[in-house]
Amino acid sequence: MTDPPLQNIVLIGFMGSGKSTIGRDLAHTLSYAQIDTDALIVERAGKSIPKIFAEDGESAFRDLESAVLRSIAEDHLQGHIISTGGGIINRPDNRTLLRRLGYVVWLVVNPEEIHRRTSRNRNRPLLDTDDPEGTIRRLLAERTPAYRETAHLAIETDNLTFPEVTAGIVDSARYFFGQA
Ligand code: S3P
Query: What distance in Å separates the CA atoms of residue 123 and residue 39, rounded to the nearest whole number?
Result: 13
For ligand 1, is residue 68 a contact (CB within 6 Å)?
Answer: no
**Per-residue pLDDT averaged across 79-93, rounded?**
98
**Measured in angstroms, how far is the CA atom of residue 51 from the centroid of ligand 1?**
13
* Best probe residue, ligand 1, of 56, 124, 137 (max atoms within 8 Å of C-beta): 124
How many angstroms separate the alpha carbon of residue 123 from the centre of ligand 1? 9
C-alpha 92, offset from chain centre: 15
What does the pLDDT look like over 124-172, one tens digit per residue? 999 999 999 999 999 999 999 999 999 999 999 999 999 999 999 999 9
Distances (CA, A) of 81 to 30, 60, 117: 9, 25, 22
Break the chain into its structural domains and give their ranges. Answer: 9-175
> Sorting pLDDT into bands at 50, 70 and 90, what band is 2?
low
Q: Which of 17, 38, 40, 144 best tests ligand 1's pocket when mutated (most atoms within 8 Å of CB)?
A: 38
CATH architecture assignment, domain 9-175: 3-Layer(aba) Sandwich (3.40)
The predicted model gives 114-129 an average pLDDT of 91
Atom index in ligand 1 nearest the CA of residue 13 equals 14
Q: 89 CB less than 6 Å from ligand 1?
A: no
pLDDT at 120: 84
3: exposed, middle or buried (Cβ count in 10 Å: 0-12, 13-18, 19+) = exposed
Distance between CA 146 and CA 139 in Å, rounded?
Answer: 11
Tell me the C-alpha to C-alpha distance, in Å, between residue 107 and each of 51, 121, 131, 153.
27, 20, 23, 9
CA distance 166 to 157: 10
- In the sheet with 103-108, reading across from the earlier edge strand, the strands are 33-36, 80-83, 9-12, 103-108, 153-156
> Does residue 85 line the site of ligand 1, with CB under 6 A?
yes
Contacts of residue 69, defined as CB under 8 A and 6 or more positions apart, other chains included, come to 37, 84, 88, 94, 97, 98
| Pairwise CA distance, residues 10 & 132, whole Å | 27
pLDDT of residue 6: 78
Atom 10 of ligand 1: nearest residue by CA position: 124
In this structure, the residue with its CA closest to atom 15 of ligand 1 is 85
